[in-house]
Structure 1
Amino acid sequence: MNMETKNKLERFYRKNVWEPVTLGGALTLWSQRYGENVAVTENGRQLTYGQLETEAGSVAQGFLSSGFKRGDKIVLQIPNSMEFVIAIFALFKAGMIPVMALPAQRKTEIKGILEKSDARGYIIKDRYLGFDYKEMAREILSESCNGVRVIVLGENEEFTSFGELRADCVFSEAEAADSADIGLFLLSGGTTGIPKLIPRRHADYLYVAKETAGRCKLTSNSVYLAALPIAHNFPLGCPGLMGTLTAGGRIVICSVTSPDEIIPLIEEEKVTITGLVPAMASMCIEFLELGEEYDLSSLEVIQVGGSVLDPYLAQRVEKAFNCRLQQIFGIAEGLICCTDLKGSDYVRYHTQGKPISPYDEVLIVDEKGEEVPEGEYGELLVRGAYTIYGYYNLEEVNKDRISEECYFKTGDRARRLKDGNYQVAGRLTEMINRAGEKIIPSEIEELLLKNELISEVQVVGIKDKLLGEKICAFILEGSEKMSLNNIRNCLADMEVAAFKLPDQVAYISNWPLTSVGKIDRNKLRELGEKL
């Protein structure tokens, strides 16, 4: 990476793009602007902007008074709750850095995250969905991380109680962080190994939240349902929690990501916008089809992102929720694209939209790193006002992921259309190499979904000694099963090339999911290899 180029970009962003405001300072400004508006609602509880400011300041002072210092990393692993919101803003105000762990992550991942981040604190819920987080914390502390202090929401036993952190004195922000400092660590997606730490700065994260909120037309009347785990980038800042607060709207907390929690909350809280991953959107549609009537007329926008959304499901989403679909493609490392709410059916169903910022610089390159012609697929590279220059403390990885000119190599396969919208076809690692022929799984999936007997399908590459990889189509069980020959004939009738025809088919009752609700394609590959 050329440091001169990086420094030049940084100077430009500081002068022309970023606001000199920290995320903790932003809450103070919002409380002054929207003080009496309700900021957060959960299960009959609510906090106004002014009350959230007071609560966060009190807990911030409690962190400082109990021995934590500015710059300390604190791993936060609690489920969606009002306390989650209070905790992150308390840490922002105190100049500490929350590391956004997910409730579904377990011992190996959390131990690695604590060690990688050199965390001094670890905030957990006592129990959630039947899992004992205190026992996991004990096991981790007995093996390593002895200097880590555990703070518990709920029954704390030998650990520090989160409730006891509240201080009576007024918090002073004199020692707050600089807006260009690291404000939080997000975690890389992935389904194996220890997640990489993604450093996001106060200024860049506030910028992307505001820009996405603008693209979603959020106002003080907006009601955002936080249905996915808020520690994930999508519901945290795209526009999510942060973007809604920039507009003075209200956050509704969904404590469990499940259709029987999500759908009733939309009706009860008059939700206007929410965000789901494709697998959860599909489950919500199935829930609605069970027959019980729900009034979802308040819903104006449903965002779907996190993984590729096929056009068939996109149409089903709009029909089932009777509102505007907005596709969103993003990476926790930076770039966010989303479709225009007034875009055509083709744009909404078949593309992932345009970058949210005029300062996003996007390249589509081939295997040699050379830019491809418009309309052709290649790897998506990006640099911009909110895209990172590398993972935290991973210099060897960064050498491969950051170009000399400071572009981040996303590893996603995409193309730019003539109208400026982008189509993302999935990860480069998902592309199937069958006997030297490159196959994009989403292309086959989209064709298979034209068959009325197939409601959901995932195509993956399975290791094969002869072909290198063979094509396996996993289909969600329905009323009738199709044989491999029927599926191949169906595709052949659509004049699909012979090398793209599936080599095997398997029916599955439920999709294996990652910790953020995406379909776990690695698990599908493992299942395919056992067939």
Structure 2
Amino acid sequence: MRSDVIGWPEETAAGYRRAGYWRDRTLDDLLRERAAEHGDRTALVSASGRLSYADLDERAGRLAAGLAGLPIHRGDRVLLQLPNREEYVVTLFALLRIGALPILALPSLGTTELTALARLSGATAHVVAQGRGRNDPRTGAAEVARACPSLRHLVVAGDPGPGGGHSLAALERAGAEAPAVTSGAAPGDPALLLLSGGTTGTPKLIPRTHADYDYNARASAEVCALDEHTVYLAVLPVTHNFTMVSPGIVGTLAAGGTVVLCPDPSPTTAFTLVEAEGVTITALVPSLVPHWLDEARRTSRDLSSLRVLQVGGSRLDDATARRVGPELGCRLQQVFGMAEGLNNYTRLDDPEEVVCTTQGRPLSPADEILVVDEEGRPVPPGHPGELLTRGPYTLRGYYRAPEHDRLSFTPDGFYRTGDLVVRTARGDLVVVGRIKDQVNRAGEKIAAIEVEEHLLALPDVRAAALVGVPDPQLGERSVAFLETDAPCPSRSEVRRLLLERGLAAFKVPDEVRAVPKLPLTGIGKVDKRRLRADVAGLTPTVPSPTAGAG
């Protein structure tokens, strides 16, 4: 019988251990070790205050004991859906201490996605933050729980509200009087589940083990020259893999540095924290970079502490890349990676031309990459092909997804990324497109088929196709083409209807365009290449706002 989690072949795993990539410790051990070594050093800064390493370790322990009393057991899957606030980091490490598997879910996900994730994983608990109005996460969580009998516990950062549930703060207080928790987890055990951007409407979960995630974070911290003086500003959502281990929160803590949580991505908020906390490194998606550069010309904040700006999630255009150093006074580092594993970085000592025109090279000497044509044959440097990879932190199979695995992996374990890249003569990668049918909007991967299924459910829609087209702000914006039996709905009407269906706001098409008939290829499939080529010659029913669906 297939396991829920596919591991590395034993001989390969043993080689990673011998080489020192995988160490005999868990992510919980990492926090415990840092607390023992320098407990008084500041680990976390947020709107709630400051936590030392000793404070963070103690609070994670108390909350772990409180959560265990619900009970949440080792191996239980828990939807962790919190924004950039102190409770996220404390809860993450509390669940790791229990040995439960956090599912890192974006706060922006709708009930449709959350219900699918809960059903796929059999999640037993859901952690959300208190909110207000129609978008209160507690309301959505109650709806998901009604559809998923496995969800027995609602845990809220704040007031649980009239629907019931448990307060994180109350559980932490109760845990102070309860026996301490130890998970007994092994380094090779699954530590957490990440969400894949994917190309199908079916959600996919990425299992990451303690050993591979620890290595990913440590190796990234080394490439990015992190140390105990590092101050990392978490601007992007904390549930993103980029914000977690590239080098992110875990990499910074592994190096003994300080993590500062930014409550929103606006440059005014971020620049205030850069000045106040002496931030040395932060990470953005390309769509945010122009706003930061514009604000940098106006701000009176002192940004001199900032040494590195990482940009990833989608390709940064060369012209904007060349502006970063002169206008922000720091080093640009391009990052190209995926939650499934492989990370690529431009190095801090790379020539400026390499930094501004490539997306870097693999993190680890044990990363294996192939660039292949449509027949699976390697292509020479300078020629585009699909990127295939395997290595010490790249998964060998999705969680409970055998059918998808047959398409996503080669027989010898290489992961088919779906990314079209060109490898330069010196080994750097340039991202030139994708094979997968998805839209990469501001770093968020949107499966076209998922949105198309929702569009087809709207009144009078006969056929629908979603494509991504280049956008200077978003990297790609999403354009929906609709065949309808009545006047084509406006973008605002489509947005309202899709949100009512529980779709996440960032998946709502940025533009809606009417077509009398979708073009087809010779084998009867929708010709999306033609649709993308025709975009410039068509007029949208409603102009797309700069911010898109957010």
TM bin, normalised by shorter chain, reads 0.7 to 0.9
Mapped contact 1:414–1:426 kept (Cα < 8 A):
yes
Q: How many residues align?
A: 471
Please, which of 408, 427, 447 is the counterpart of residue 401 of structure 1?
Answer: 408
Change (3 A) 1:127 1:472: same
1:383-422 pair list within 5 angstroms = 383-422=390-429
Q: Determine helix, strand or coil for the equivalent of 2:60.
A: helix
Q: Determine helix, strand or coil for the equivalent of 1:373.
A: coil
Please, which of 201, 212, 223 is the counterpart of residue 204 of structure 1?
Answer: 212
1:87-486 pair list within 5 angstroms = 87-127=91-131, 131-145=135-149, 147-157=151-161, 158-166=164-172, 167-169=175-177, 172=180, 174-190=182-198, 193-289=201-297, 291-429=298-436, 465=519, 468-469=527-528
Counterpart-to-counterpart distance in 1, 2:97 and 2:477: 46
Q: Determine helix, strand or coil for the equivalent of 2:9.
A: helix
Change (3 A) 1:411 1:53: same
Following superposition, the deviation at residue 55 of structure 1 comes to: 0.7
Q: Determine helix, strand or coil for the equivalent of 2:13.
A: helix
Following superposition, the deviation at residue 510 of structure 1 comes to: 0.4
Q: Determine helix, strand or coil for the equivalent of 2:92.
A: helix
Please, which of 51, 63, 80 is the counterpart of residue 59 of structure 1?
Answer: 63
Aligned to 1:8: 11
Q: Determine helix, strand or coil for the equivalent of 1:333.
A: coil
The answer to which of 415-424 and 328-337 deviates more is 415-424
Q: Which residues of structure 2 form unaligned runs of 5+? A: 440-466, 482-517, 522-526
Change (3 A) 1:460 1:60: closer
Q: Does 1:37 align with 2:48?
A: no
Aligned to 1:529: none
Counterpart-to-counterpart distance in 1, 2:295 and 2:149: 43
Q: Which amino acid aligns with 1:270?
A: G
Identity of aligned residues (%): 35
Q: Which amino acid aligns with 2:17?
A: R
Mapped contact 1:335–1:387 kept (Cα < 8 A):
yes
Following superposition, the deviation at residue 148 of structure 1 comes to: 2.5
Counterpart-to-counterpart distance in 1, 2:256 and 2:133: 32
Mapped contact 2:231–2:257 kept (Cα < 8 A):
yes
Please, which of 66, 70, 77 is the counterpart of residue 73 of structure 1?
Answer: 77
Following superposition, the deviation at residue 164 of structure 1 comes to: 1.5
Counterpart-to-counterpart distance in 2, 1:97 and 1:4: 16
Q: Determine helix, strand or coil for the equivalent of 1:218.
A: coil
Following superposition, the deviation at residue 69 of structure 1 comes to: 1.0
Q: Deviations over 1:207-247 (max 9, x none)?
A: 00000011110111110000011111001111000000011
Q: Deviations over 1:353-409 (max 9, x none)?
A: 111101100000110111111221100000000000111001000001011110000
Q: Which residues of structure 1 form unaligned runs of 5+? A: 433-440, 474-498, 515-531
Change (3 A) 1:146 1:91: closer
Mapped contact 1:460–1:471 kept (Cα < 8 A):
no
Change (3 A) 1:177 1:111: same
Counterpart-to-counterpart distance in 2, 1:5 and 1:126: 40
Counterpart-to-counterpart distance in 1, 2:76 and 2:229: 36
The answer to which of 407-416 and 139-148 deviates more is 139-148
Change (3 A) 1:268 1:98: same
Counterpart-to-counterpart distance in 1, 2:140 and 2:535: 46
Change (3 A) 1:505 1:191: farther
Aligned to 2:512: none
Mapped contact 1:186–1:233 kept (Cα < 8 A):
yes
Following superposition, the deviation at residue 172 of structure 1 comes to: 4.5
RMSD of the TM alignment (CA)? 2.9
Q: Does 1:28 align with 2:32?
A: yes
Mapped contact 1:459–1:471 kept (Cα < 8 A):
no
Following superposition, the deviation at residue 504 of structure 1 comes to: 5.2
Change (3 A) 1:399 1:224: same
Q: Deviations over 1:304-334 (max 9, x none)?
A: 0001111011112323311000000001000
Following superposition, the deviation at residue 264 of structure 1 comes to: 1.8
Give me the TM-score of the superposition, normalised by structure 1. 0.82
Mapped contact 1:462–1:471 kept (Cα < 8 A):
no
Following superposition, the deviation at residue 465 of structure 1 comes to: 2.4
Change (3 A) 1:94 1:430: closer
Q: Which amino acid aligns with 1:179?
A: P
Counterpart-to-counterpart distance in 1, 2:135 and 2:53: 32
Counterpart-to-counterpart distance in 2, 1:227 and 1:366: 37
Q: Which amino acid aligns with 1:46?
A: R
The answer to which of 100-109 and 169-178 deviates more is 169-178
Counterpart-to-counterpart distance in 1, 2:257 and 2:423: 33
Mapped contact 2:519–2:531 kept (Cα < 8 A):
no
Aligned to 2:546: 510
Mapped contact 1:471–1:502 kept (Cα < 8 A):
no
Change (3 A) 1:149 1:253: same
Q: Determine helix, strand or coil for the equivalent of 1:268.
A: helix
Mapped contact 1:301–1:325 kept (Cα < 8 A):
yes
The answer to which of 309-318 and 326-335 deviates more is 309-318
Counterpart-to-counterpart distance in 1, 2:480 and 2:75: 45
Change (3 A) 1:513 1:383: farther
Q: Deviations over 1:104-144 (max 9, x none)?
A: 00110111111111111110101179721111122222233
Following superposition, the deviation at residue 431 of structure 1 comes to: 10
Counterpart-to-counterpart distance in 1, 2:52 and 2:477: 47
Q: Deviations over 1:485-524 (max 9, x none)?
A: xxxxxxxxxxxxxx9995558774404267xxxxxxxxxx
Counterpart-to-counterpart distance in 2, 1:139 and 1:256: 27
Mapped contact 1:126–1:152 kept (Cα < 8 A):
yes
